[in-house]
Amino acid sequence: MFKHILVGIDERASSFHALEAAVAMAKSFGATLELVHAVDQALMRQARGVATDDMRAGFNTALEQEGQGVLDHAVARARALGIEPRTRLLVSTSQHPAEQLAEAVEASGADLLVVGSRGPSGVARLLLGSVSDRLARNLTTSMLIVRGGEG
């Protein structure tokens, strides 16, 4: 049914819960599994006048290294579950992670996006919405939101 499954990965337990579901589906369908992590550098863009260029560059480098670490951990988990995934680190100074993921889905030709969500969570959700909410409203590709995994 699905030939290319893309999984949005972050450091939360719900994301790794989604990874496990995506691995099971990829194995069942014989699909390619691709793991992506979106680094959001937009915060540093807002720090002009408060932080030097070197400080912003150092922070951005740290965000990218942390993102690569998240991907490396997800790859190890996927391998332990019996599948060899592709990976991609997404980096943007202007796009929200949901926009980065939507573009990655389009660029990769994936026919399913899998993301984790821990469900409703306070004022931030009311004001900003979650990544999964934004994706569900705007993505034309099939999407699976895997709930839970937080604990």
Which domains are assigned to the chain? Answer: 4-147 (3.40.50.620)
Instruction: For residue 114, give both structure tokens.
Output: 């899998």
Q: What integer best gives the mean pLDDT of the chain?
A: 85
Do 144 and 8 form a contact (C-beta atoms < 8 A)?
no
CA 90 vs CA 5, 22, 67: distances in Å: 16, 19, 9
| Residue in 114, 115, 110, 148 with CA at minimum distance from that of residue 32 | 110
Q: Which residues contact 69 (CB under 8 A, 6 or more apart)?
A: none
The pLDDT tens digits of the residues spanning 38-76 come to 987 666 555 555 667 777 678 778 889 999 999 999 999
Residue 117, pLDDT score: 82
CB 87 within 8 A of CB 69: no
- State both tokens at 8: 């949005």
> Per-residue pLDDT for 130 more than 60?
yes
Q: Where are the alpha helices (DSSP H) in the chain?
A: 13-29, 42-45, 53-80, 97-108, 122-128, 131-138
What is the predicted pLDDT for the residue at 28? 97
Q: Is the pLDDT of residue 123 over 60?
A: no
